[in-house]
Amino acid sequence: MYVAVKGGERAISAAHAWLEETRRGDAAVPELTVVQIEQQMGLAVDRVMAEGSCHDRFLAALAIKQAKGDLIEAAFLLRAYRTTLPRFGASEPLDTAAMRLRRRISATYKDLPGGQVLGPTFDYTHRLLDFALAAEGVERAAAPEAPTPVESAPRVTELLAREGLMQREVAEDAEPGDLTRQPLTFPAERPVRLQNLARGDEGFLLALGYSTQRGYGNAHPFVGEIRVGHVTVEFTPPELGFPIELGEIGVTECQMVNQFKGSRTEPPQFTRGYGLVFGHGERRAMAMSLVDRGLRAAELGEDITAPAQNAEFVLYHSDNIEATGFVEHLKLPHYVDFQSELENLRTIRRSAEAAIQEAAE
Amino acid sequence: MNTSEAPSASGATTLEGYNFAYLDEATKRMIRRALLKAVAIPGHQIPFGGREMPLPYGWGTGGIQVTASILGPEDRLKVIDQGSDDTTNAISIRRFFTRVAGVATTEHTAEASVIQTRHRIPERLLREDQIMVYQVPQPEPLFRLEPRRVETKRLHALADYGLMHVRLYEDIARLGHIAKAYDYPVMVNGRYLMSPSPIPAFDNPKMDRMPALQLFGAGREKRIYAIPPYTDVRSLDFEDHPFRPIRAPQACALCGSRDTYLDEVITDDRGGRLFVCSDTDFCAERQADAAKEAAE
Amino acid sequence: MTTPLLTAEGLNLHFGAIAALRDVAIDITAGEVVAIVGESGSGKTTLLRVLSGLMAPDSGTVRWLGQDVHAMGEAARRRLMRTDWGFVHQNPRDGLRLAVSAGGNVGERLMAVGARHYGNIRGEALSWLAKVEIDATRIDDLPRTFSGGMQQRLQIARTLVTRPKLVFMDEPTGGLDVSVQARLLDLIRSLSRELGLAVLIVTHDIAAARLLADRILVMRRGEVVEQGLTDRVLDDPQHPYTQLLVSSVLAA
């Protein structure tokens, strides 16, 4: 009889063995190495690091391999690993003004100190499938090299702020909240909101950011600046009392310039939306900065009418590890509750049928 | 407390590279502090710094974190899902704790010191030396009526629960009776409205003045709450429409029980069906007892 | 003279440079209907919000049976709002739950103060629907299927079901047709007499004030420029602004 079967243990083991087999695919095809993924699937690695909230290219590549290329699953693996790591403390704030730039563009100025640096980008490529790539082993010509620019590249927002046109962000000494240690509570301060967005699902951020451009949130954004490159991470061990360099990490920063109509106490000026993410993730950083600006509506005294301005809505639904878990939990058995619903519906139908019959008589 | 290398008292060793019961000791302490607060204010939701776990959100991460924080090497763990020890998610969680804590496990309710559950309370009466850990998908009982947590927090603070009664009134007006069949809201200690987790309403009365400590963990929503032993737990109702636990009005096809919660099993495509106990351990014990009696 | 239910003294409130309330004092005793009249922007709705505790004044006090309304906690104020007080909004949608049946809307306040007998709650709801002239067959319908006048009558039933001592009304006939307005005013008048309700009603409609109110306060630019018994104020207005108000009604 069906109910007497106790095959759960065996079924799970067999299913996992099958999964492993399909992950590997045809054994006659050479196995992907983690290094190959790290080198040739770099943007996937970057996304997994960002959503997995852990900067480690090797582990992210390993997670992608294990997850069969499912990037949300890979981010989940990385998150579950990072949560077990001991915490020694927090680094000094990153100085993105001192970034070793690979790419730096501004949409608000034709040219500016430090210049526009296009860097490795899909922008301006023609999206034509390159069948030459299908033929493997073909050597590609190396990209031409230019001398490293000597000129420093000041932040665009800083240029505007010096003129008084850009609202200055006030540095705070208060220790920011830490989403990996404390639960999200409301009202959520901006540092916590930014943490949440930095590791939020890229598709969700993209759609929300996009919605602010389409009239759901009254945004008039300009890309003040996008910069991609490497920044030094410094850490001050308590026993030393001065910062030491730990190394470099790759990041993408976006500063989105937005209009602000002014208030009783403040003249009209630009305000900024901010995005900073691990690795090379322009779409993510841009979307993040749009949503960040949207979520500042309350603080700037703007009407809250759109989803992207609703902090509870955005922050509670941005995390794809939480979202995928809860959506997918629907495939767990629910037959106990369903049984209650069945009995419930039968009872309701019985009384409804009786009532109909009574009415007919 | 144990360390990662030490073999547990049950003789099993834990997974290399991980602390006993997966979470580090600082995190366990944080969770236990939240549990203490929760016990001190029965039914009140305590926010806690929920961690990512290697199992997905919605699959029991809250319950797992609570279990991991209270588990010692001497414990004997039972895990059920839908009342059964043999459902895939129960197996997965039981395996997890065998792997990372090396604790002994059992399928017998009477033998367990900690019982982690999804969607059921065992039929057998629990004792003072046992702890129930519930997996909770949505700790906020008012969430369908008021989605804003800032607002529900205020409603709880003011004990302003008129909204929930309106919902029950509407059910009776439209359908003739209260149509909530599971996750049926309860008042704890006469003060806080609480979600009992999606157990069938049939199980609600078991919560009232239960000798065992009841702990609730919601991982994704990062909330913990508790019902201390022997606390009053009342299902909301009206005087003239009293709370009614619902079950299928049949007898178990395996053990003949008429007072336990039953699952409906479809046996063929011609409308054939039978009903069996959802609590597989309880059912197996009754069958064994009956067999023994028959033999005597 | 009996002790007033509600007393307010020295109320001041500024929005930036604009004075919404200037040294306003008012009291209201049990069973009395008081109308606050004035054109829009005169501060009458602000006064209602301050008196009912929804908005804090810059200075001045509001006392309910001697208790400072703005000093009491939110829990106490909410309790007052669902027991001794009632509030009828201009737009019934602000005072009703549109996704809850008419019966549920009326029953909510009863349940909020502890009623737990379904049959009694429903009986009470039916008797209130009858009082406000809504057909009993509509008890399980959603308010969004009601006309504007019916919605407003439902809001009044929902507010009065717990028999409050004082009801605040903010332009209760505001968005309605003239014929519907007259019927609603009649209803408010008969219910307030029957139940011995004190009513504080804000209106820009002098005719409505004449029909309902025992006393009238005339407001202009945040200030009470004239007050007194309704007949006296309307038949023999002293302040030029009141004279203008009264004559503009006659002219219209």
> Are B263 and A336 a contacting pair at CB < 8 A?
yes
Rounded alpha-carbon distances, angstroms, from residue A296 to A139, A165, A287, A300, A301: 50, 18, 14, 6, 9
Q: In sequence order, what are the residues at sequence separation of 6 or more whose Cβ sits closer than 8 angstroms to the Cβ of residue C251?
A: none
* pLDDT digits 0-9 by tens, A251-264: 999 999 988 776 66
Percent of chain B's residues with pLDDT above 70: 95
CA–CA min distance C124, chain B (Å): 13
Residue B4: which pLDDT band, with cuts at 50, 70 and 90?
very low
Mutate to test the interface with B, among C98, C100, C118 (most CBs of B within 10 A): C118
Q: Is B11's pLDDT higher than 70?
A: no
Mutate to test the interface with A, among B28, B57, B266 (most CBs of A within 10 A): B57
Q: First CA to last CA across chain A, in angstroms? A: 45
In chain B, beta strands by DSSP E: 46-47, 76-81, 104-105, 114-118, 131-135, 186-188, 192-194, 213-218, 223-227, 233-235, 262-266, 273-277
Dist CA B161 CA B188 (whole Å): 13
Please judge whether B160 and C111 are an interchain contact, meaning their C-beta atoms are less than 8 angstroms apart. Answer: no
Q: Give the per-residue pLDDT at B189.
A: 97
Please tell me the predicted confidence (pLDDT) of residue C181: 86
Rg (CA), chain A: 26
How far is residue C37's CA from residue C22's CA, in Å, rounded to a whole number? 16
Q: Please state which of the ranges B1-10, B148-157, C31-40 shows the lowest mean pLDDT.
A: B1-10
Residue C169: what pLDDT?
95
Domain chopping of chain A, boundaries: 9-82, 96-120+150-168+180-323
Q: Of C78, C75, C82, C49, which is closest to residue C161 (Cα–Cα)?
A: C82
Put simply, the answer to whether A3 touches B263 (Cβ < 8 Å) is: yes
Interchain proximity C118–B162, CB inside 8 Å: no
Read off the pLDDT of each residue in B199-215 and give the average, rounded to a whole number: 97
The reported pLDDT for the residue numbered A6 is 62
* pLDDT score of B241 more than 80: yes
**Quick check: B209 pLDDT over 80?**
yes
CA distance linking residue A228 with residue A96, whole number of Å: 9
User: Given CB atoms, is A336 within the 8 Å cutoff of chain B?
Assistant: yes
Using an 8 Å CB-CB cutoff, list chain B residues near C97.
166
Buried-exposed string B171-192: b where 16+ CB fall within 10 A, e elsewhere: bbbeebbbbbbbbbbbbbbeeb
Beta strand A244-260 with C67-68 is unpaired
Q: Using CB atoms and an 8 Å cut-off, which of residues 146-185 of chain B contact chain C? A: 157-158, 160, 162-163, 165-166, 169-170, 172-174
pLDDT (0 to 100) of residue A150: 60
Q: At which residue do the structure tokens 């703007």 appear?
A: A302
The top-level CATH class assigned to B1-246 is alpha beta
Domain boundaries, chain B: 1-246, 247-296
Greatest extent of chain C over all pairs of C-alpha atoms, in Å: 56
Instruction: Give the per-residue pLDDT at A2.
Output: 44
C77 has pLDDT over 60: yes
Q: pLDDT class for B271, splitting at 50, 70, 90?
A: confident
- Range C67-93 average pLDDT: 91
* Identity of the residue numbered A181: R
Residue B227 has pLDDT above 90, yes or no: yes
Work out the average pLDDT over C111-131: 94
Mind giving me the DSSP string for B30-42?
Answer: HHHHHHHHHHHST
CB contact under 8 A, B162 and C82: yes
Task: Note the pLDDT of residue A213.
Answer: 86
Q: In this structure, are residues B8 and B20 in contact, taking their beta carbons and an 8 Å threshold?
A: yes
Q: Residue A75: what pLDDT? A: 97
Q: Tokens in use for A113?
A: 């100190």
Task: Give me the tens of pLDDT residue by residue for chain A, a chain 361 residues long.
Answer: 444 446 678 888 899 999 999 999 999 999 999 999 999 999 999 999 999 999 999 999 999 999 999 999 999 999 999 998 888 888 999 999 999 999 999 988 877 888 888 899 998 888 888 888 888 777 778 888 877 766 778 888 888 888 888 888 888 888 888 998 889 999 999 999 999 999 999 999 999 999 998 888 877 898 999 999 999 999 999 888 899 999 999 999 999 998 877 666 677 888 999 999 999 999 999 999 999 999 999 888 888 889 999 999 999 999 999 999 999 999 888 888 888 888 888 888 888 888 888 888 7
Query: Distance between CA B206 and CA B198 in Å, rounded?
Result: 14
Q: Are B212 and B126 in contact (CB under 8 A)?
A: yes
Cis peptide before B47, with omega less than 30 degrees from 0?
no
Q: ipTM of this model?
A: 0.87
Question: What average pLDDT does this structure show over B16-45?
Answer: 94
Encode pLDDT of C142-162 as tens digits: 999 999 999 999 999 999 999
CA distance B241 to B249: 20
More confident residue, B269 or B5: B269
How far is it, in rounded angstroms, from Cα B238 to Cα A289?
51
Helix, coil or strand: residue A46: helix
Instruction: Report the candidate in A188, A212, A192 with the shortest Cα–Cα distance to residue A200.
Output: A192
* pLDDT at res. C252: 43
pLDDT at B3: 37
Q: CA B88, CA A1: separation in Å to the nearest integer? A: 18
Q: Which pLDDT band holds residue C251 (cuts at 50, 70, 90)?
A: very low
Q: Which of B162, B172, B237 sits opposite C108 (nearest CB)?
A: B162
pLDDT of amino acid A214? 82
> With 80 as the cut, is the pLDDT of residue B13 above it?
no
> C250: pLDDT confidence band, cut at 50, 70 and 90?
low
Q: Look at residues C111, C3, C16, C108 and name the one whose alpha carbon lies nearest to residue C66.
A: C3
List A residues 269-308 in contact with B (Cβ-Cβ < 8 A).
Answer: none
What mean pLDDT is reported for chain C? 91
Residue C179 — very low, low, confident or very high, per pLDDT cuts 50/70/90? confident
Average pLDDT over residues C18-38: 93
| Strand order, beta sheet including C59-64 | C18-28, C6-15, C59-64, C67-68
The Cα C133–Cα C127 span in angstroms is 10
Q: Which of C96, C111, C139 should we substitute to test contact with B (largest number of B Cβ atoms within 10 Å)?
A: C111
Q: Edge-to-edge strands of the sheet including A244-260?
A: A100-105, A222-235, A244-260, A269-278
Active site residues of B: 43, 252, 255, 277, 283
Residue C213 reports pLDDT greater than 50 = yes
The three-state DSSP-derived secondary structure of chain C is CCCCCEEEEEEEEEECCEEEEEEEEEEECCCCEEEEECCCCCCHHHHHHHHCCCCCCCEEEEEECCEECCCCCHHHHHHHHHCCEEEECCCHHHHCCCCCCHHHHHHHHHHHCCCCCHHHHHHHHHHHHHHCCCCHHHCCCCHHHCCHHHHHHHHHHHHHCCCCCEEEEECCCCCCCHHHHHHHHHHHHHHHHHHCCEEEEEECCHHHHHHHCCEEEEEECCEEEEEEEHHHHHHCCCCHHHHHHHHHHHHC
Q: Is B181 in contact with B201 (CB distance < 8 Å)?
A: yes
CB proximity A344 to B under 8 Å: yes
Adjacent-strand bridge partners of C26: C8
Task: Tell me the pLDDT tens digit for each residue of B166-199.
Answer: 999 999 998 888 888 899 999 999 999 999 999 9
Output the pLDDT for position C249: 65
